[in-house]
Structure 1
Amino acid sequence: MRILHTSDWHLGQNFMGRSRATEHKAFLRWLANEVTTRQIDAIVVAGDIFDTATPPSYAREIYNQFIVELQSSQCQLIILAGNHDAAAVLNESKNLLQCLNTQVIASSSSKLNEQLLVLHNRKQQPAALLCAVPFLRARDMLQSQAGQSAGDKQRSLQQAIAAHYQQLFALAQQYNTEHKLELPIVMTGHLTTLGVSRSESVRDIYIGTLEAFPADAFPPADYIALGHIHQSQRINANTDIRYSGSPIALSFDEARQQKQAWLIEFAVDGKTVSSLPIPCFQPLISIKTTLDTITTQVQQALSDITAEQILWLELVIAETDAYLTDLQQRVETQLQDLPVELLRLRRQRTNLGNGFADASYTSLAELTPQQVWQARLATEQLTEQQQQQLTALHQQILAKMEHAE
């Protein structure tokens, strides 16, 4: 049984005003070819299929076209909702896609058996059990109780999520027992786990007041396929817990990452997991430089791309030149004959005050809500307990805004 674990496609994303449609089409063509070449039995997409709750029509078309192209391979496709996905959007074609060997899990269900899927190999034999857990929203897990402290709410929510996983795992074990099988158990999730490395494109998930889920709260499944974190990585835990990461770089700080998917193979003699490197379909890079060394550093970056490609570029200009009023014009003059698109120009500053001591930010738009909040707290004389209480309330408001979106 061969399962490919991927996530965070973010179809429909715009990057600094540029469409990613060409990259996404290229990635999905590559993925369909890999399925055929490597004889993959199932693909598990662990959330964030689309970039927004209301994806543009071309993003839905790319999604549907991939499912059609996958039919000749007889590969099962399991789609799980992430925090960027709207359950209503994924569910609108759920019944139709089921006829195309595609199963969609857009939200948690009170009927646990709806989240337990049997995966088949190419001989149509049961070969693995999938506990399909999408992004879990606080309102789906608990009812708010008056008088609870922020700490109590966090503990209750963590316990509810852990119980959901444990109950699903027990159901999978029960299935094996009743059918006299020993199928490997795979679980999914779309959340932040303690100990992960993040990038600037990852929008922090606050499931209620829960910021990160402890790895030791997961059941001892044979493999846990997670989404949300865009950097591929394995979590340091007793259970095999991995993020596949996004297939394309979604921010400049991901530009130097080798994007990949995980290929899991279950055989009689055990399990093997290997990395499946994904080609770079659109080169992008962030360069910290002075005005004098822009051309040299950009030309060095261009040596790594093909003649037909255009490099998407972010420049962070050192503070020695950051004061120049005509900086944009000077930079554009140096780049005018090079195959690059300057998507963002930033002026590096080492002392902006208000809590941003080491920032190279030049505008509020470049800051995350958490950075703004921490900077604001730094201006007040508060006890540690007061800061924790206010931060918990701030996280609840952010979560409500994300759900509304």
Structure 2
Amino acid sequence: MKLIHTADWHLGQSFHGQERHAEHRAFLTWLLDTLVERRADALLVAGDIFDVVNPSLRAQELLFHFIVSAHERLPHLEIVLIAGNHDSGNRIELPAPLMRRLRTHALGRVSWLDDGNLDTERLLVPLTDASGETRAWCLALPFLRPAEVTGAGMRLDQDEDDDAPNDYVAGITRVHRQLIDAAGKRREPGQALVAMSHAHLHGAAVSEASERPIVIGGEESISAALFPADIAYVALGHLHRAQQVGEARIRYSGSPLPLDFSEVGYPHQVVEVRLDGEALGETQAIPVPRPVAMHRVGPAPLERVLAELAALEDDPALSDARGRERSKEHWPWLEVRVELESPIPDLRARVETALEGKALRLLRLERRLPRVEGGDQKTRVDLETLGPRRLFERTWEQRWGESPAENVLADFDRLRQDVLDADDASTQGDPI
């Protein structure tokens, strides 16, 4: 049996204020072609399907169009979706009855039976081959929020998890164990077990700036030892860097696209998984083509940054004027990081001048400023006595170690007056 494991699509993501629908559409088109080419029996999507709990209509349309197209081209394909911490579990499950007609199983939340036990039946999804025979069981466990796994209303064995760092991790652990135990009793000889979970495992590498912490303090991580050896494959979501955790059978597929400039440097992929009976046969990483290039320039002094920008070449597909105008949504994204010794008021203008005529979209300009000794020390000030202008001067002096120039103060005065004028205009005619 052949599975494709993917996760962290983040459909509808706003990238520094810019939409990425064209990139997501290109990825889903490629994924569908890959499923057909590889003759996959099942697709596992391990959470964070959407970027926010209330995704746009366009983002939802991308998902539903993909599911319908996949069923049309591969009528036997089983699709299993679970909600991640970015998703609304209720929203993921809302169209579940319709999805089941397209052999798609959407699991957004866990539920509890009247006796307080986990409802494991709804989380066990049979995976069938082209002949309709069940070859494996998917343990589809959506992201577990604290309210779902702690407190009263559920029957959990308290003695099992005395070593857990907190009640939340203990609750996650118990839910995993109950589902794994139920799956072991349900399967028949020759059928494999495949666990799918949206969680943070001990020892896994996080990205520099992009994963949203599940719990403040990072104490939500669980142990990979939670998954016993009789689980052939563990399909994980949440961490954007593709990686295995301890064993080849326990893997994060990673996000198919970079979700932050900090993710540009490592490969993005989906994972093909082949099952041989009850065991894992082999896994193969399939690189995802990047529909829009991403460039990260710096950090470096301004002159070197400007030289690097001048050396950037256009994508050959965008070389002519017609191609540029027609394909603006495919122009590469650009982040520029400049190391400064002192303020440069026209920094953005100088960077944009260096980019003039190039098919690039400047999304982020980061100024890296020197630290002034003692600049972080905090002193108490009387704001009413000090006034805005003097407060600005003091802040500048603490940050840069020198007084602001006259042209800087003139700019500050002009901006402050603009704010005051705007306030006056907004209150015209208001009763006292």
Q: Report the TM-score range of the alignment, normalised by the length of the smaller protein.
A: 0.7 to 0.9
Match of 2:215 in 1: 206
8 A contact 1:302–1:311 mirrored in 2: no
8 A contact 1:162–1:218 mirrored in 2: no
Does the residue aligned with 1:68 lie in a helix, a strand or coil?
helix
- CA 40–330 in structure 1, closer or farther in 2 if over 3 Å, else same: same
8 A contact 1:138–1:207 mirrored in 2: no
Question: Cα distance, 1:153 vs. partner?
Answer: 8.2
C-alpha separation in 2, matches of 1:281 and 1:297:
23
Match of 1:12 in 2: 12
C-alpha separation in 1, matches of 2:311 and 2:9:
30
Match of 1:123 in 2: 131
TM normalised by structure 2 equals: 0.75
8 A contact 1:247–1:278 mirrored in 2: yes
Question: Cα distance, 1:318 vs. partner?
Answer: 1.5
Q: Which structure 1 residue ranges, 5 or more long, are not aligned?
A: 146-150, 356-405
Q: Which structure 2 residue ranges, 5 or more long, are not aligned?
A: 113-118, 154-161, 324-329, 378-432
Q: Deviations over 1:148-174 (max 9, x none)?
A: xxx998433323222221221121211
Question: Cα distance, 1:197 vs. partner?
Answer: 1.6
Match of 1:287 in 2: 297
Match of 1:358 in 2: none
Does the residue aligned with 1:240 lie in a helix, a strand or coil?
strand
Question: Cα distance, 1:45 vs. partner?
Answer: 0.4
8 A contact 2:141–2:197 mirrored in 1: yes
C-alpha separation in 2, matches of 1:15 and 1:310:
14
C-alpha separation in 2, matches of 1:125 and 1:80:
23
Match of 1:402 in 2: none
What is the letter of the counterpart of residue 334 of structure 2? L
C-alpha separation in 2, matches of 1:30 and 1:218:
31
Moved beyond 4 Å, runs of 4+: 303-306, 352-355
Q: Deviations over 1:115-135 (max 9, x none)?
A: 111101112111111111110
Match of 2:115 in 1: none
| Residue from 232, 235, 249 that aligns with 2:242 | 232
CA RMSD of aligned residues (A): 2.4
1:68 maps onto 2:68 in alignment: yes
1:333 maps onto 2:356 in alignment: no
C-alpha separation in 2, matches of 1:222 and 1:41:
16
- CA 301–195 in structure 1, closer or farther in 2 if over 3 Å, else same: farther
TM alignment of 1:380-391, pairs within 5 A = none
TM alignment of 1:164-243, pairs within 5 A = 164-176=175-187, 179=188, 181-199=189-207, 200-206=209-215, 210-220=219-229, 221-237=231-247, 240-243=249-252
C-alpha separation in 2, matches of 1:174 and 1:282:
47
Match of 1:106 in 2: 108
- CA 207–272 in structure 1, closer or farther in 2 if over 3 Å, else same: farther
Q: Deviations over 1:75-115 (max 9, x none)?
A: 11111000111122112211111111100100113211111
| Residue from 159, 172, 175 that aligns with 1:161 | 172
8 A contact 1:132–1:188 mirrored in 2: yes
C-alpha separation in 1, matches of 2:344 and 2:359:
25
Question: Cα distance, 1:315 vs. partner?
Answer: 0.5
What is the letter of the counterpart of residue 275 of structure 2? F
C-alpha separation in 2, matches of 1:306 and 1:183:
48
Q: Deviations over 1:167-207 (max 9, x none)?
A: 2112121122xx4x221111011111111222211111118
- CA 11–166 in structure 1, closer or farther in 2 if over 3 Å, else same: same
| Residue from 262, 277, 282 that aligns with 1:272 | 282
C-alpha separation in 2, matches of 1:283 and 1:209:
32
Does the residue aligned with 1:302 lie in a helix, a strand or coil?
coil
8 A contact 1:78–1:104 mirrored in 2: yes
- CA 348–45 in structure 1, closer or farther in 2 if over 3 Å, else same: same
C-alpha separation in 1, matches of 2:267 and 2:313:
17
Does the residue aligned with 1:4 lie in a helix, a strand or coil?
strand
Percent identity over the alignment? 31
**Bigger radius of gyration:** 2
Question: Cα distance, 1:270 vs. partner?
Answer: 4.9
Q: Deviations over 1:315-363 (max 9, x none)?
A: 000224x6211111111111112211111111112427659xxxxxxxx
Match of 1:29 in 2: 29
1:344 maps onto 2:364 in alignment: yes
8 A contact 2:124–2:139 mirrored in 1: yes
Deviates more, 1:167-176 or 1:262-271: 262-271
C-alpha separation in 2, matches of 1:305 and 1:137:
47
| Residue from 246, 254, 261 that aligns with 1:252 | 261
